[in-house]
Amino acid sequence: MLTKWRIAIILTALAMLSVLMTACGSDTTAGAGGTPTAAATTAATTTASNIACEKGNLGTGGSTALGPLVQAAAKTYQDKCSGSSITTQLTGSGAGLKGVHEGSLQVGNSDSFVSLTKNPEYKDLTDNQVAVVVFAVIVNKDVTGVTDLTSDQIKGIFTGKITNWKEVKGPDLQISVISRPDGSGTRNTFEKYVLGGTKESVSGASHSTAKTSGDVASNVSKKTGSISYDTVDFAKKNSLTVVKIDGQEATADNVKSNAYKFWNIEHMYTKGAATGLAKSFIDFVKGADAASLRQQYGFLDLSSISSDAITAKTPKA
């Protein structure tokens, strides 16, 4: 009988010791009253966001070059900011500007500055600059041996004066030119900074037009002897040949110094000053929270570009 009491006392003591050890071990995750420890607090802090979230519906549209970044940013913003709904139409810079001016859009995306000479009615638009886009002259894989073209040679091709690749030390192959439509911000940038202000004038059976940046990349990859212009990001994702212009490569360093001139500032225009969800989203697109997205889609931060280069791309008042 005594032996049984002794066993019971021992078992009770062991149980109490186990409870005590468990309680001590729990201090690694919470203190008195369940207060998180330093480790738990750090984890919570690293997931915090600096986004000033706004609720509501926002319609954006325009540039097909900026479009992929805006679409990705919209998805991320909506994931982080419940109650927000953001749509993006890939309709071209011209359509984006018209949409925000007429009120069908709250934000109009454009690859170039608004020309008040051409469209004085757009004086009601506010320019919100968000990033830098890098463009490139691209050719089909069959255009072997052509890795560098001068501005004059490119001008000759896009005005129909040069029609065979052998004229620029390439293969004996007819040149097929793929253009962007009038109103395209990419085309405006190309004509201004690569063609030196000359308008594209090539025509005929060897000429075609592609509506979006994605269409350009797809068409050049399929059409023998073709040449066009697109963002470097679309060119890389479609394994297209990027041609140097006047000996300069389409690299970030060359853009930052403006040694390579085929680039521009990306804009998200609003009618009047941006407010509410429009302001919050635009701030997100150009802010630190979307830095990885800008890099992923091939955009450069405005702050990384030299002031002289920015001045060279900014129209004089």
Residue 14 lies in a domain: no
The CATH number that applies at residue 178 is 3.40.190.10
277 with 290, same domain: the answer is: yes
**How much is the pTM?**
0.82
176 & 271 share domain: no
Let me know the angle formed at the C-alpha of 131 by 130 and 137, rounded to the nearest 5 degrees: 140
pLDDT attached to residue 45: 26
Which pLDDT score is estimated for 50? 81
What the block records as the tokens of 63 is 């540039």
> CA end-to-end span of the chain, whole Å?
105
Q: Is 173 part of any domain? A: yes
The length of the chain, given as a count of residues: 317
pLDDT given at position 27: 36
Q: Is residue 161 domain-shared with residue 242, that is, in the same domain?
A: yes
Distances 7 to 15, 16, 17 between C-alpha atoms, Å: 12, 14, 16
Residue 11 inside a domain? The answer is no
Same domain, 140 and 252: yes
Same domain, 160 and 269: no
Residues 249 and 295 in one domain: no
Q: Are residues 235 and 161 in the same domain?
A: yes
As a whole number of angstroms, the distance between CA 78 and CA 76 comes to 5
- The one-letter amino acid code at 194 reads V
Q: Is residue 43 part of a domain?
A: no
Lookup result for tokens 């089909």:
140
Alpha-carbon span 145 to 123, nearest angstrom: 47
- What pLDDT, on a 0 to 100 scale, did the predictor assign at position 316? 84
- Each residue's pLDDT tens digit in the chain (317 positions)? 444 444 444 444 444 434 333 333 333 333 333 323 222 222 222 234 688 999 999 999 999 999 999 999 999 999 999 999 999 999 999 999 999 999 999 999 999 999 899 999 999 999 999 999 999 999 999 999 999 999 999 999 999 999 999 999 999 999 999 999 998 999 999 999 999 999 999 999 999 999 999 999 999 999 999 999 999 999 999 999 999 999 999 999 999 999 999 999 999 999 999 999 999 999 999 999 999 999 999 999 999 999 999 999 999 86
Residue owning tokens 């202000």:
197
- Catalogue the E-assigned strands of 53-93: 56-62, 84-90
271 bridge partner residues? 125
Shared domain check, 274 and 244: no
Q: Are strands 241-245 and 107-110 parallel, antiparallel or unpaired?
A: unpaired
- Are 299 and 268 a contacting pair, CB within 8 Å? no
CA–CA gap between residue 163 and residue 176 (Å, rounded): 8
- Of 205, 236, 256, which residue is a domain's last? 256
> How many Å apart are CA 127 and CA 45, to the nearest integer?
34
Domain count, the chain: 2
pLDDT of 227: 98
Task: Kindly state whether residues 88 and 232 are assigned to the same domain.
Answer: no
What is the extent of the structural domain holding 281? 56-111+120-129+265-299
